[in-house]
Amino acid sequence: MSLTAERTTVVGSFAPATNREAVEAAASVPASAPAVEVRLDALSEPPALPALRDAFSGKLLLATLRSAREGGAFAGGEEARVSLLAEALRAGFDLVDVELSSPGGRGLHGFPPDRCVASFHDPSGVPRDLAGIARELAATGAAFRKLVVTAGSSADALAVLTLQRESTDGRLSAFAMGEPGIATRVLSPYLGAPIAFGSFVPGRATAPGQLSVLDLSEVYGIGRRRPVDGLLALFGGLVSHSFSPALHNGWLESAGSALLYVPFALRSLVSELGPLASGLWDLGLPLSGASVTIPFKEEATLVALFGEGSVANTLLREGEAFRAANTDQPALRGLLPAASPGAAALVLGAGGTARNAVEALLFRGYEVDVLARNPERAAELAAEAGARAVAAPRAAGAYAVVVNATPLGLRPGDALPLPDGFLSEGLLVVDAPYRPGGTELVRRARLRGASTVDGFALLAAQAALQATLFTNRPCSARDLVERLPARLRRDFEVTT
C-alpha cells in the first residue's frame, strides 16, 4: 500500500534577530507552508507579539522560546518564559511550544492542551528510552507532540523512524537533527507525522539538517499527494548540499513512479547498508536502489555481489543482494570529444572520481597525466589505469583537457585547483564540483575563452543514466533538468 504525506502540515520556521526582520520575512512564506513557527528566543529585543500576529495573518502561528539546554537561545528564567508564552496566546498566536523538561512542562504550564505543542529536544544525541519520552509527551494531552534528537548514524535515524511508525494517534512528529537526520525529516511525514518543519528564509535554517519549506513540498511531496511505496537513496558522507534528490524526484513523479529518492548520510557504507535496508523494509519503505557519492564509491563495489570495476556510483537491488554499476564514467565519456593524435589530458586528484576520469580519457584516446596532493595515490592510480603520475603539470598549452576531480571549488573562497595561466582558448576544462552559479574555476575558464563541462552537466548526465537503471525507462539529462523546480533550474546557469 502506498504511503503519502498529504496530511502533514508544513511549518515554516524562522529565528529572527529583530521584530522588523520577522515582519519583513512574513511576505516570503510560501503558500505550501500554512503554518509558521517564530523562534522568539532568537530576538535581541522584546517581541512585538501583536505586530507579529498581524504580519503572519492567515497562517497558523506557533510561538517558541527554545531553552539553551534544548539547543535554543532563551536565557531568561522559567517564570519569564511562561509569561511570554501566555502573552503570545493572548496576542492571537494559535499555538505555543512547551518543553517537556521544563518545570511544569508535563502540565503544559496550565495552557489549554489544544493550543500546545509538547516538545522534547536533545541536541547532543539519542536518549536510550525514546519510547518512554514519547509516552511522557503523550501524557500531556497536547494537540501536537514533537520529539527531536540528534542522529549520528543511520541506526539513529532508523530508531526515530521506527518510533514514528509505532505512533498511531496522528499527534507525534519524531525526527532527528544533523546530516544523518535529514532522511527522518523527509520520511517521518510518510509514517504519520502531523507536522514538518522547514526554513523559508534562505540560509537561515533554525536547526542542523533542516530542509527548506519549498524542498519539503516540491522535492519530497510533503503536504500534498505524492504516493510512495519504495525508496531510492543517496548514500554519502555529506548529503545536504546535493541536487540529486531534486533531479531524481521531479522526474520520478512526472513518470508516475511511486519511488521517492531520499538522502542518507552514512559513516560506513559497508557496515550500515545491510541494517538500513532491513530497517527500511520493516517500515514498509523497501530500498530498490541507490546513488553512491563521496567517500563511498570504492566501498560500493564491496557491498555488491554483482558488478564490475573498482569504483561504483550506483547500487541496484536484485533479490536479497545489490548489483554495482558506474554511470559516472559513461556520462563523462559522452561529454568528452575524441582525442586528436598525441593529445594529452591532466587529471587532478586520485580518488574514485579521478579514476573514472582517467579511464574515460584513455577510452577517448588521450595521453593522461595524474597529479594529486598524495603522490603515492597518484602513482597507484596511474599504474593501475595505464596513465602517468606527474609531480607537476606540463607547460601551459600542453593539455587539450584538464579534469578537476578534487573537492576544490565546492566552498566559496576555495583556491583554483590549477594556475590561472593554464586557462586559455582551445582548452576543455571539466570540473567535477558544482555550486549554484558555477565554481570559480568554471567561471574563470569561460572568461579566458576555454570550453567547459561543469559539475552540473556531469551530475545531470550521470543521474539520467542512473534514472534509466532505477526505473527501466529511458531518461535524458534534459528530462531531469526540465522537471526541476524553476528556482533550482536557475542554479544550473553559470554566471560570469
Q: pLDDT tens for residues 79-105? A: 999 999 999 999 999 999 999 999 999
Across residues 45-53, what is the average pLDDT?
Answer: 98
pTM, 2 dp: 0.93
Q: What is the pLDDT of residue 193?
A: 99
Quick check: 363 pLDDT over 70?
yes
Length of the chain measured in residues: 496
Mean pLDDT of the chain: 95
Question: pLDDT-based confidence at 489, cuts 50/70/90?
Answer: confident
Average the pLDDT over 434-449 and give the result: 91
**What whole-number distance in Å separates Cα of residue 190 and Cα of residue 203?**
26
pLDDT digits (tens, 9 = 90+) for 406-422: 989 988 889 999 888 89
Cα–Cα dist 197/182, whole Å: 12
Q: What percent of the chain has pLDDT over 70?
A: 99
Catalytic annotation present for 297: yes
At residue 491, does pLDDT exceed 80? no
Question: Phi-psi region for residue 74, left (φ > 0), alpha (ψ -120 to 50) or beta?
Answer: beta
Give dist(CA 365, CA 388) in Å, integer: 14
**Per-residue model confidence (pLDDT) at position 310:** 75
Q: Residue 241 pLDDT more than 90? A: no
Residue 203: other Cβ atoms inside 10 A: 6
What is the reported pLDDT for 352? 84
Cell numbers placing 220: 519530497
At 190-233, the pLDDT tens digits run: 999 999 999 999 999 999 999 999 999 999 999 999 999 999 99
Give the dihedral sign, CA 449/453/456/461.
positive
Q: Which band of pLDDT confidence, cut at 50, 70 and 90, is reported for residue 434?
A: confident
Contact 274, 153 (CB under 8 A): no
CA 115 to chain CA mean position, Å:
32
d(CA 27, CA 263): 30
Burial (CB count within 10 angstroms: exposed 0-12, middle 13-18, buried 19+), residue 13 = buried
| C-alpha triplet 155, 434, 204: angle, nearest 5° | 65
pLDDT band at 311 (very low <50, low <70, confident <90, very high): confident
Q: What is the pLDDT of residue 494?
A: 62
Q: What is residue 411's predicted lDDT score, i.e. its pLDDT?
A: 82
Which pLDDT score is estimated for 412?
A: 83
- How does residue 306 score in pLDDT terms, banded at 50, 70 and 90? low
Q: Helix or strand or coil: residue 91?
A: coil
Please check the confidence at residue 247 and state whether its pLDDT lies above 70.
yes
Nearest CA to 283 among 174, 192, 191?
Answer: 191
Q: Which residue has the higher pLDDT, 438 or 111?
A: 111
Residue 496 has pLDDT above 60, yes or no: no
pLDDT over 70 at 495, yes or no: no
Sorted by where each starts, the structural domains of the chain and their CATH numbers stand as 3-226 (3.20.20.70), 243-325+461-491 (3.40.50.10860), 330-453 (3.40.50.720)
The catalytically annotated residue of 297, 355, 446, 483 is 297
Confirm if 59 and 36 have CB atoms less than 8 A apart. Answer: yes
Q: Is the pLDDT at 315 greater than 70, yes or no?
A: yes
Q: Residue 436 — pLDDT band, cuts 50, 70, 90?
A: confident
Reported as a pLDDT band with limits 50, 70 and 90, residue 139 is very high
Q: What is the pLDDT of residue 349?
A: 96
